[in-house]
Amino acid sequence: MVNEEYFAHETAVIDDGCSIGRGTKIWHFSHIMTGCVIGERCNIGQNVVVSPDVVLGNNVKVQNNVSIYTGVVCGDDVFLGPSCVFTNVLNPRSAINRKDQYRKTMVGKGATIGANSTIVCGHNIGEYAFIGAGAVITKDVPPYALYVGNPAYQLGWISKCGHRLNFDANGIAACPESGEKYRLVEDNRVEVIS
Residue pair 114/132 in contact by the 8 Å Cβ criterion: yes
Shared domain check, 58 and 31: yes
pLDDT of 4 reads: 78
168 and 187 fall within a common domain: yes
Do 152 and 180 lie in a common domain? no
> According to the model, what pLDDT value does residue 194 have?
80
Overall domain count for the chain: 2
- Do 145 and 174 fall into the same domain? no
Q: What's the CA gap between 87 and 110, in Å, rounded? A: 21
**Shared domain check, 172 and 134:** no
Q: Beginning with the edge strand found earlier in the chain, give each strand of the sheet holding 61-62 in spatial order.
A: 7-8, 25-26, 43-44, 61-62, 79-80, 112-113, 130-131, 145-148, 153-157
CA atoms within 13 A on the CB side of 16: 0
Sheet holding 118-119, edge to edge: 13-14, 31-32, 49-50, 67-68, 85-86, 118-119, 136-137
One domain, residues 65 and 95: yes
Specify the pLDDT at position 2: 54
Q: Please write the tens of the pLDDT for every residue from 75-120.
A: 999 999 999 999 999 999 999 999 899 999 999 999 999 999 999 9
Same domain membership, residue 38 and residue 108: yes
- The pairing of strands 112-113 and 79-80 is parallel
Shared domain for 18 and 86, answered yes or no, is yes
Expressed as residue numbers, the domain containing 62 is 1-158
> In the chain, how long is the greatest CA-to-CA distance?
57
In this structure, the answer to whether residues 130 and 170 fall within a common structural domain is no
pTM of the model: 0.95
Domain CATH for 143: 2.160.10.10
pLDDT tens-digit map of 89-98: 999 999 999 9
d(C-alpha 106, C-alpha 52), whole Å: 15
Asked if residue 39 and residue 122 are part of one domain, the reply reads yes
Residue 53: per-residue pLDDT: 97
pLDDT band at 48 (very low <50, low <70, confident <90, very high): very high
The reported pLDDT for the residue numbered 1 is 52
Domain shared by 43 and 108, yes or no: yes
Q: Rounded CA gap, 45 and 65, in Å?
A: 7
Kind of pairing between the strands at 181-185 and 79-80:
unpaired
For 47, the 3-state DSSP assignment is coil
Alpha-carbon distance of 14 to 32, in angstroms, equals 5
